[in-house]
Amino acid sequence: MRTVELIGVVLFLGVLCSESKYMVYNTSAGIDAGKINVHLVPHTHDDVGWLKTVDQYYVGSNNSIQGACVQNVLDSLVPALLADKNRKFIYVEQAFFQRWWNDQSELTQSIVKKLVNSGQLEFINGGMCMHDEAVPHYIDMIDQTTLGHRFLKEEFGVTPRIGWQIDPFGHSAVQAYLLGAEVGFDSFFFGRIDYQDRIKRKKEKSLEVIWRGSKSLGSSAQIFAGAFPENYEPPPGFYFEVNADSPVVQDNVNLFDYNVQDRVNDFVAAAIAQANITRTNHIMWTMGTDFRYQYAYTWYRNMDKLIHYVNKDGRVNALYSTPSIYTDAKYATSKSWPLKIEDYFPYADRANAYWTGYFTSRPALKFYVRKMSGYYLAARQLEFFKGRNDSGPNTDSLADAMAIAQHHDAVTGTEKQHVANDYAKRLSIGYTEAEKVVASSLACLTDSKSSFGCGDPTTNFQQCPLLNITYCPASETDLSHGKNLIVLVYNSLGWKREDVIRFPVVNEDITVHDSEGRKIESQLVPIVDAYVDLRKYYARAYLGSSPDDVPKYWIAFTVSVPPLGFSTYTISASKKPGAGSTKSSIYKFQKGEKPAIEVGEGNLTLTISAPSGKIINYVNNRNLVEESVEQSFSYYTGYNGVNDKAPQNSGAYIFRPNGTYHIKAEQASLTVIQGPLVNEVHQQINPWIFQTTRLYKEKEHVEVEFIVGPVPIHDGFGKEVATQITTSLENSKTFYTDSNGRDFIKRIRDFRTDWDLEVNQPVAGNYYPINLGIYIRDSKKEFSVLVDRSLGGSSIVDGQIELMLHRLLLDDSRGVDEALNETVCVLDDCRGLAVQGKYYYRIDPLGEGAKWRRSFGQEIYSPLLLAFAEEDGENWMSSHTPTFSAIDASYSLPDNVALITLQELDDGKVLLRLAHLYEVGEDSDLSVMSKVELKKLFPGKKIVKVRELSLSANQEREEMEKRRLVWKVEGETENQNENPKVVRGVPVDPKKLEVDLAPMEIRTFVMEFEVDLMSTTFKRIVDA
């Protein structure tokens, strides 16, 4: 259909859908400077999974759980918008929109494009989902936003202007400055802030602020941010969903119950009430809520009438609007706004209802997401090296699964169990495809014979996604009959890396050689019962069967891997007995024996008190830090308010402890494993907590691996299991936690920067989300803990850091309507979920902790990727390329820079993101401007074009900066907010191709390379 015809259709539908033959509603109102302007913003909030899965929400199945069908929203929206060109709508979640878009005919698509172009339909936020802000890693937030934004750019040529995080349970600094300002948003709106904060802000008209989320980037990354007065629904009585209760506007004089004046009065009263707590004469009404607009027309029918009659009344001015129009109107007033720094955590919606439980809820899902995040980053690198295959296998489905998993009811753990399963299933499917990409890329990269692309690589690399349950079929091959195992170790970091890897083996007498044929020291670590049990049960649960043979050992050895590259090792049976790996010594403490034992082969040693099983002393011989450290477990019983008048259980969202129980470690269970590379202290803390404290000879941190669960619930009490690490540091209630794995924010116990806190939950109200780590410090030392996934933590007692590791049991009445009680089943035998994980701690002299937190933190995020292959007779090393680095051999990224995205796009261009890892002032050496040489990053390729883009890669950075609104901050003069001036990297010189990165800066580029018939990657290998 051509445009002319389309216009006819639009006209037609306008007439067809107009309410009445008598009434034509005047909905054309714009802004009236002399009145209160009520911006009606029609919207739907479509959770990308919560009570139902994303697909169930889309098609509208499983409605017995929740009547919700996104298809209906979008199907019914199109004719409703066509019917009146003044009507507007915003759409947010691209995971849904893309599902719908793919289903539409070209004609519908062309109509929708017109609606987008005319501004009737505006995409805002625009990521695949409305990600959570507490528990996702910032890289995942960027990736999922980019995925949505690039789709919108490619399909519609549009760039969302507005951040719209209306439902997440508190709001992060990173969201404001990075996923807000750095994405190019003009403003950012949200619904949930602490109830005490909200009261104060309403009183002071400070719900709308200028938010500077980053100490380092300051005003260069500030954003206009508005918290809604209540929630993201319309004012009471203006909710016009099909079958909803609000009084419809009855303006037909021929029927009974004509109520126009009543409704106009209600409208004006609600508008004035909101105007009384809002600066300027612009207020926003969020006309919609979760999965509403099932039949969009019901809303517009009533809004049309309200706009018509309210404006006829004249006391206030009502208009169809969007957050963009609202933002521009606010901006046009040239008013100043209060300044907001830090973040909006934790969130409590009322007394005793701190939403700090979800920082830890479903810790296994949280780990799976984090693990896949690092894997996805690595897989995209390898996909790029090999060359992307649009028709697959590729990393797209993992990208999609990861994006969806960032939703604020996904990785948060606040969904129903079947939905959590759906996220895991998607990740698993995505992983399986990405695993193929990785395997084939590695095979290609190692395949010396193939100089021209990668036709038929010879090596079949296996990976071991279940290594965490000590299950790795590829490594568990019997080497005693002469077979050798090739182990490839890929490093996705931009630095060379040395680390101890480990995997299970079935042979005892084996040797490790590097690719040069040098024998490497290795250590056999016994696989103890706790791990065997985990392997047996979970392999059966995940795979349907469990192999009968159980390997007795992990082999551990130190690998050295170049940046963005791999090294290869050969595992083989020892030529002569005893010449292979060193077996660890095992020392089981008996009652009354030695009072203490010292472990540690390197600079760091721990002294363990045998009677208590606790660490009593921590000594670093290099930097001379010495500290008493006591680590213990406890659990909180979850509040069960079933008999209360105003009950508030602890649940998936809310942490509400009702008593603390310290878990006394069982003395008899102490075992020390010692060897040349790693020492371990094994402790069966109680029947359902097993802990390994691990010291690597070459590392100066303590690695703690825990297995918590199945948490017993036969007593009917929910248990929220925490660990405390207690030092003597005098941190004066102060601790630091990261924002989405990036900036650290200062936290003070029982205190809020923005208001006088009324403390009603002395534990839950002091919990904060931890993605990277938490630290405390005093005048001499800093004590840092880093984590392998997001979890909740705090410093409830001076000198102590606490992490919550696992939690259950009740529902907290925030909609999930299902107990948080994760189980794992083998057929009908279900057990409580056991959670395995690691955290790491270290004590540094004051001012020296950041280096470890930042660089080792990056290593935790991007663990070495292992791939295994059996050597098939001939010498694999000599016939293959055993080592590889994608970057110039002379080069590695600066210590303060990480490559957080390297990805071939579907148009063949390459997306590159570089992140400065340090904040201003964080480290005396590394909190400085850094420089990356792109030519050395892509040594074999000719860079034709480098364009710097916004963070989500949907617009030119320069254009974005030009368009950026310059908001005024209350109390700051014109240039005061640039003092001290924020320094940022300058535009890239197309000749020099060097990228400057200021502290905390992330810069995003699209690169184009000279097209070469010969694969440049492989060409480089051949050239090398």
Backbone angles phi, psi at 311, to 5 degrees: -70, -30
What minimum distance in Å lies between the beta carbon of 298 and its own copies? Answer: 6
What minimum distance in Å lies between the beta carbon of 201 and its own copies? Answer: 32
- How many CA atoms lie less than 13 Å away from 907 in the CB half-sphere? 8
Query: What distance in Å separates the CA atoms of residue 340 and residue 224, rounded to the nearest whole number?
Result: 10
Question: SS3 string of 93-117?
Answer: CHHHHHHHHHHCCHHHHHHHHHHHH
What minimum distance in Å lies between the beta carbon of 71 and its own copies? Answer: 8
Query: What distance in Å separates the CA atoms of residue 182 and residue 150, rounded to the nearest whole number?
Result: 15
| SS3 state at 13 | helix
What minimum distance in Å lies between the beta carbon of 72 and its own copies? Answer: 6
Closest to its own copies by CB, 18 vs 658, is 18
What minimum distance in Å lies between the beta carbon of 69 and its own copies? Answer: 7
What minimum distance in Å lies between the beta carbon of 61 and its own copies? Answer: 5
Asked whether the beta carbons of 132 and 192 are under 8 A apart, the reply is no
Closest to its own copies by CB, 49 vs 710, is 49
What minimum distance in Å lies between the beta carbon of 315 and its own copies? Answer: 24
Query: What distance in Å separates the CA atoms of residue 694 and residue 600, rounded to the nearest whole number?
Result: 9
395, two tokens: 């990393």
Asked whether the beta carbons of 336 and 280 are under 8 A apart, the reply is no
Angle at which helix 3-17 crosses helix 106-117, to 10 degrees, equals 80
What minimum distance in Å lies between the beta carbon of 290 and its own copies? Answer: 12
> What element of type H or E holds 427?
helix 417-446
Closest to its own copies by CB, 245 vs 478, is 245
Query: What distance in Å separates the CA atoms of residue 685 and residue 670, rounded to the nearest whole number?
Result: 9
Cα–Cα distance list, 366 to 420, 675, 711, 1012 (Å): 10, 32, 18, 42
**Which residues of the chain form contacts with its own copies (CB under 8 A)?**
1, 5, 8-9, 12, 15-22, 53, 55-56, 58-61, 63-64, 67-69, 71-72, 75-76, 78-79, 99, 102-108, 111, 242-248, 250, 252, 254-257, 259, 294-295, 297-298, 301, 422, 425
Asked whether the beta carbons of 822 and 364 are under 8 A apart, the reply is yes
814, two tokens: 């925030």
Asked whether the beta carbons of 127 and 90 are under 8 A apart, the reply is no
Closest to its own copies by CB, 99 vs 370, is 99
Closest to its own copies by CB, 279 vs 301, is 301
Residue matched to tokens 């029927």: 255
CA 185 from centroid of its chain's CA atoms: 20
Residue 228 per-residue DSSP state: -
What minimum distance in Å lies between the beta carbon of 291 and its own copies? Answer: 9
CA 145 from centroid of its chain's CA atoms: 11
For the residues of 769-831, what is the DSSP string, one character each? EESSEEEEE-SSEEEEEEESS-EEEE--STTEEEEEEEE-----SSS--S----EEEETTEEE
Cα–Cα distance list, 799 to 171, 231, 287, 803, 847 (Å): 27, 38, 48, 14, 17
Asked whether the beta carbons of 37 and 332 are under 8 A apart, the reply is no
What minimum distance in Å lies between the beta carbon of 575 and its own copies? Answer: 53
For the residues of 554-597, what is the DSSP string, one character each? EEEEEEEE-TTEEEEEEEEE-SSTTSSPEEPEEEE--TTS-SEE
668 residue type, one letter: A
459, two tokens: 């090596």
959 residue type, one letter: E
Closest to its own copies by CB, 87 vs 161, is 87
What minimum distance in Å lies between the beta carbon of 256 and its own copies? Answer: 5
What minimum distance in Å lies between the beta carbon of 60 and its own copies? Answer: 5
Residue 134 per-residue DSSP state: S
What minimum distance in Å lies between the beta carbon of 825 and its own copies? Answer: 20
Query: What distance in Å separates the CA atoms of residue 915 and residue 772, rounded to the nearest whole number?
Result: 15
What minimum distance in Å lies between the beta carbon of 97 and its own copies? Answer: 14
What ranges make up the beta strands (E) of 564-677?
565-573, 582-583, 585-588, 596-599, 604-609, 615-620, 626-627, 630-638, 657-663, 671-674
What minimum distance in Å lies between the beta carbon of 687 and its own copies? Answer: 38
What minimum distance in Å lies between the beta carbon of 816 and its own copies? Answer: 19
- How many CA atoms lie less than 13 Å away from 738 in the CB half-sphere? 29
Closest to its own copies by CB, 148 vs 218, is 148
